[in-house]
Amino acid sequence: MGRKRILKIPNSATIKCPSCNKNTRMKIEKDRSPQFFHCRKCKKDVQTPITKCCIICAFSDKKCLHSLLMEAHAKGLQVKEEKQKEEKLNAEERINKQLEILKEKISNAEHQKNHLID
């Protein structure tokens, strides 16, 4: 009885490269667990150790969705997605894209204006 405990699913994990310790943000996919990642600093392709489930489980502070769901199932926890951060990020991305479009329009308009003056 009592309230159900909730297990939150994060959107992304920070992978620490085992060779150079560089942190890389990785999105936690819903349908797959990444088996390798490419480190942009030391240019190494890091593979999941055979004893681990995936890159996220092996080298980050988080767990992949698959492991979280297994854990939730084992402990009888309710699963809840963490959404806010991603929505905020998407909003930022959208605004940046709109800004890009506006800038392009402005430069086109200026180009046309210059032609009119000519």
For Zn ion, which residue of 39, 48, 59, 60 counts as binding (CB under 5 A)? 39
Per-residue contact flags (x/-) with Zn ion for residues 72 to 91, judged by CB under 5 A: --------------------
Q: How far is the CB of 46 from Zn ion (least distance, A)?
A: 7
In sequence order, the 6+-apart residues with CB closer than 8 A to the CB of 48 are 34, 35, 36, 54, 55, 57, 58
With contact defined as beta carbons under 8 Å apart, do 70 and 79 qualify? no
54 binds Zn ion (CB under 5 A): yes
Give CA–CA dist 26/15, Å, rounded: 7
User: Least distance in Å: CB of 71 to Zn ion?
Assistant: 11
> Which residue carries 């797959």 as its tokens?
32
What angle (nearest 5°) sits at the alpha carbon of residue 21, between those of residues 16 and 26?
25
Between 61 and 100, CB nearer to Zn ion? 61
Which chain residues interact with Zn ion by CB under 5 A? 17, 19-20, 22, 33, 39, 41-42, 53-54, 57, 64, 67
